[in-house]
Structure formats: C-alpha cells, structure tokens
Amino acid sequence: MGNNTHSDSKDAFSPESITAQLERILASDTFADAPRLSQFLGYVVNESLSGRTDHIKGFTIAHDVFHRENPTDAQDSTIVRVEAGRLRRRLNDYYIKEGQRDPYPDMNVGTRRGKSCCKKRASVENRS
C-alpha cells in the first residue's frame, strides 16, 4: 500500500508530488522526442509551483521558452497557441497510455485552455 503524499483536498497536490509527476512525464516515451514541448511543460509547472501563475502569459512564454526577440509580435503569440495545443494533445496521449500507471493518474500536470498546472483531472472514462 502506497503512502499518499498529496493534500486531502481533491484539487491540490503537494509540490513534491507535482514535481515527481512532471519528472515522470518528461522521462516518458511520449515526451522523449519532444524537447520543445518538454521545456514548455517544465516552464508552466515551475512557474506555477513558484507562485508566478500571473507570469504565465503568451508573451512571457514566447520570450522565455521559445526565445522570441519580440514576444508581442502576432506571429510569436501564434507559436505559443499552436505549441500549447500540441502540448495538450501530447499530455492527453500520455495520460491515456503511460500515465494510467502513475501513482496519481488523476493529477493534471500541464496546461488546459486558460488554466495551468496541477489540478485534479477527470478520469479518462468520464471524458466525452
């Protein structure tokens, strides 16, 4: 029997469990060939854990993750939206396949439209 280290709250997990989940995701086969998406995910999770969720904006991601010189340029913010969609799809693939064996398979480490990081996710069976 495992020792659950996440909070009693159904929507919160400890920083340690979030970090461990991030490490599992980044070490997975699903993310093995996606260094850019891995960097994006790591950035979002680490900013969230550091209490800087207000810093997670398209222009900061364009600058900090994708090294864009002019992150307010429309083309640079498009890349963030496109990559965020790819990241969401890749995370969904991870949770459907490899992530089912995770200690906290209901942890949503990553990005959702308009949201970031580390909430309880609906089970695969309950999604439509």
Read off the pLDDT of residues 56-92 as tens digits, 9 standing for 90 and up: 888 889 989 998 887 666 666 688 999 999 999 999 9
Tokens 């909430």 label which residue? 119
**Structural domain count of the chain:** 1
Nearest to 18 by CA among 36, 39, 44: 44
Calculate the alpha carbon distances from 12 to 36, 46, 117 in Å. Answer: 27, 15, 10
Provide Rg for the chain, Cα atoms.
15
Predicted pLDDT at 110: 58
CB atoms within 10 A of CB 18: 21
Q: Is 22 a member of any domain? A: yes
C-alpha to C-alpha distance for 49 and 46, rounded to whole angstroms: 5
Q: Is 6 a member of any domain? A: no
Full domain range(s) for residue 65: 15-123
Q: Is 44 a member of any domain? A: yes
CB atoms within 10 A of CB 37: 22
Q: Determine which of 20-29, 32-41, 119-128 has the lowest per-residue pLDDT on average.
A: 119-128
Q: What is the mean pLDDT of residues 34-52?
A: 94
Q: Is 81 a member of any domain? A: yes
Q: What is the mean pLDDT of residues 100-122?
A: 62
C-alpha to C-alpha distance for 99 and 7, rounded to whole angstroms: 20
Q: Is 37 a member of any domain? A: yes
C-alpha to C-alpha distance for 94 and 99, rounded to whole angstroms: 5
